[in-house]
A and B are shown apart, each in its own frame.
Chain A
Amino acid sequence: MIELTTTRHNELIDPIVHVWGWEIPIYLFIGGWVAGMMILSGYFFMKGRGKEYHCVCYRIPLLALGLITLGMLALFLDLEHKFYVWRLYTTFAVKSPMSWGAWLLLLLYPTLFIIFLLQVPDWISTRWPILHSWSQKLRSVKAITKIVGMVNIVMGIILGTYTGILLSALGARPLWNSAILCILFLVSGLSTAAAMVHMIAKERAERELLARADNLFLFMELLVLALFFIGLLSSTNVQIQSAMLLLNGPYAAVFWVFVVLLGIVVPLFIQNLAVNHKIIHTPVSPIMVIIGGLILRFIIVSAGQFSHYANAHFIR
């Protein structure tokens, strides 16, 4: 019998750490989603695949631009000292993932803007013809399209990985303290981005291609999740306890049902049938994938804050 009591009662800290609410999971989810979109569209531009004008993969950079702005808004809303946000850009802290992230976000805008320029939609270019002329200039040199595509892939990988590093660098929370979290968030970002594309794609070929890709990403996600837990479960007691939070602890029901079953396994099954033309393709499974990815961020952020080296309030 161990009785640990504390006289501390700090807001956001006690009885368990809950410094981050909905804003950070949303930000992490959007970050991953946008990363996936950048990789997908970057890949398509680089490879020059799907020359068709209305291929969705050529149009999602605009969506990504909007989403990343929303993500940054969520991040901003989370700050407790909002008027001092400019302090992020007065320094560069090498060891701080968040500092990297702040600068990275600045680079994202031009990257996304240029890839957006490669294929400006009609309804925009008619309103702002100058964009069309810039677009023409850029596309006149073929290498530029390739390079912009590559840069977007690289930036996407960095962004997707960064959303994981942000958490995994916080060693005090055993659940987060795993580099596999970066891969998990990257793969999840790819699967949600692919789901987004094949949900809204009008062309059947593109839809099926992305659905197949999505299946691959979902399968990888399952593998990475397994690796994530193997890593934790083969570590010290606190890591094992933290893994148990998801596997059979207070977060287990949500994790198994919404993340694993409805977020990965069931859509994988449905999409597999769809790409093999056993059933028709509907938006149901991509929506499940996207919601699953969102819940994954929520549950990792929440359970991670619960996980602890020595919490006076830890249930014994």
Chain B
Amino acid sequence: MARFAMVIDTVKCVGCMDCVVACKTENKVPEGFNRDWITTDAKGKFPTVQMEIRSERCNHCDNPPCVYCCPTKASHVHDLGGVVLVHHHMCIGCKACLASCPYDARFIHPDGYADKCTFCIHRVEKGLDPACVAVCPTHCMYFGDLDDVESQVSKLLLERKNHALIPEAGTRPEIYYLI
């Protein structure tokens, strides 16, 4: 079993939004919607400011509330890598999954179904990195299998300090931010 995860180096990330643009074109995300986005988190008082820039998206949680709350099993955990996906043709658009996500990672596609990051599973199945990872100009994003101790993501998480987002929500997110 694989457990796919993304590791993002906030020290290198410049917040250029290339990940967002690449996702939009790769996945034909409609105008006005984002499957991923940039959060800038600045603390302090000028000129002593600390800033963390994060590329954020669906966390493909190990304990995904969006999957549990789905009444039709349209939201599901994919066989490969534990990626959380939506069967568009099974979704009734009840929006429970949108409300259940502490990361607000989902939205309703103009065609009526719940949509979100897929970890570019169509690319991953071909052995490619997700579009956001593949495009990043500062090479600050890594994608891989946490069940493989030899993978780059596993090693990075061992070597570097990191955090995930809103762990207290109990969702066991699979996107990690190196600090």
Q: How near does chain A come to B118, taking the closest CB pair, in angstroms?
A: 16
* CB proximity to B under 8 Å, residues A142-191: 166, 169-173
* CB proximity to B under 8 Å, residues A1-29: 1-14, 17, 19-20
Note all chain B residues with C-beta closer than 8 A to A79. 92-94
Number of interface residues of A (CB under 8 A): 50
Nearest B residue (CB) for A85: B92
Cβ proximity bits B27-70 to A, threshold 8 Å, 1 near / 0 not:
00000111001111111110000000000100000000100111
Q: Is the interface of A mostly helix, strand, loop or mixed?
A: loop
Cβ proximity bits A92-109 to B, threshold 8 Å, 1 near / 0 not:
010111110110000000
Note all chain A residues with C-beta closer than 8 A to B20. 7
Q: How far, in angstroms, from A269 to B3 measured CA to CA in the complex?
A: 60
A98/B71 in contact, CB under 8 A: yes
Among the interface residues B32, B72, B170, which one has the most CB atoms of the partner chain A within 10 A?
A: B72
Note all chain B residues with C-beta closer than 8 A to A5. 39-40, 42
Q: How near does chain B come to A170, taking the closest CB pair, in angstroms?
A: 5
B39/A6 in contact, CB under 8 A: yes
Note all chain B residues with C-beta closer than 8 A to A9. 32, 34
Q: How far, in angstroms, from A90 to B71 measured CA to CA in the complex?
A: 10
Q: How near does chain A come to B13, taking the closest CB pair, in angstroms?
A: 13
Query: Can you identify 15 A-B contacts, CB atoms within 8 angstroms?
Result: A1-B45, A3-B42, A6-B39, A7-B17, A9-B32, A10-B34, A11-B33, A17-B104, A20-B99, A81-B92, A93-B70, A96-B68, A96-B69, A98-B71, A170-B99
Cβ proximity bits B132-163 to A, threshold 8 Å, 1 near / 0 not:
00000000000000000000000000000000
Interface flag for A84 (CB, 8 Å): yes
Interface flag for A209 (CB, 8 Å): no
A1/B43 in contact, CB under 8 A: yes
B69/A95 in contact, CB under 8 A: yes
Nearest B residue (CB) for A238: B168
A310/B90 in contact, CB under 8 A: no
Supposing A171-B169, A172-B65 touch, asked if A80 and B45 sit within 8 A by C-beta, the answer is no
Note all chain A residues with C-beta closer than 8 A to B165. 310
Supposing A10-B34, A170-B99 touch, asked if A96 and B71 sit within 8 A by C-beta, the answer is yes
Interface residues on B, range: 35 or more
Nearest B residue (CB) for A91: B73
* CB proximity to B under 8 Å, residues A200-234: none
Q: How far, in angstroms, from A19 to B37 measured CA to CA in the complex?
A: 19
Interface flag for A127 (CB, 8 Å): no
Note all chain A residues with C-beta closer than 8 A to B166. 309-310
Nearest A residue (CB) for B165: A310
List residues of B whose CB falls within 8 A of some A CB.
Answer: 17, 20, 32-34, 37-45, 56, 65, 68-74, 89-96, 98-102, 104, 106-108, 111-113, 165-166, 168-170
List residues of A whose CB falls within 8 A of some B CB.
Answer: 1-14, 17, 19-20, 78-82, 84-85, 87-88, 90-91, 93, 95-99, 101-102, 166, 169-173, 236, 238, 305, 308-312
Supposing A170-B96, A171-B169 touch, asked if A4 and B73 sit within 8 A by C-beta, the answer is no
The 7 closest A-B pairs by CB, nearest first: A80-B93, A81-B93, A8-B37, A81-B112, A98-B71, A99-B71, A172-B102
Q: How far, in angstroms, from A136 to B44 measured CA to CA in the complex?
A: 78
Q: How far, in angstroms, from A256 to B5 measured CA to CA in the complex?
A: 46
Among the interface residues A9, A81, A101, A171, which one has the most CB atoms of the partner chain B within 10 A?
A: A81
B68/A95 in contact, CB under 8 A: yes
Q: How far, in angstroms, from A246 to B39 measured CA to CA in the complex?
A: 28
Q: How far, in angstroms, from A101 to B107 measured CA to CA in the complex?
A: 23
Note all chain B residues with C-beta closer than 8 A to A14. 104
Q: How near does chain B come to A307, taking the closest CB pair, in angstroms?
A: 11
Note all chain B residues with C-beta closer than 8 A to A13. 98, 104, 106-107
Q: How far, in angstroms, from A81 to B72 measured CA to CA in the complex?
A: 12
Select which of B38, B40, B72, B92 is within 8 A of A3 by beta carbon. B40
Nearest B residue (CB) for A16: B104
Q: How far, in angstroms, from A77 to B162 measured CA to CA in the complex?
A: 44
Supposing A5-B39, A11-B33 touch, asked if A88 and B69 sit within 8 A by C-beta, the answer is no
Select which of A3, A7, A85, A236 is within 8 A of B34 by beta carbon. A7
Note all chain B residues with C-beta closer than 8 A to A91. 72-73
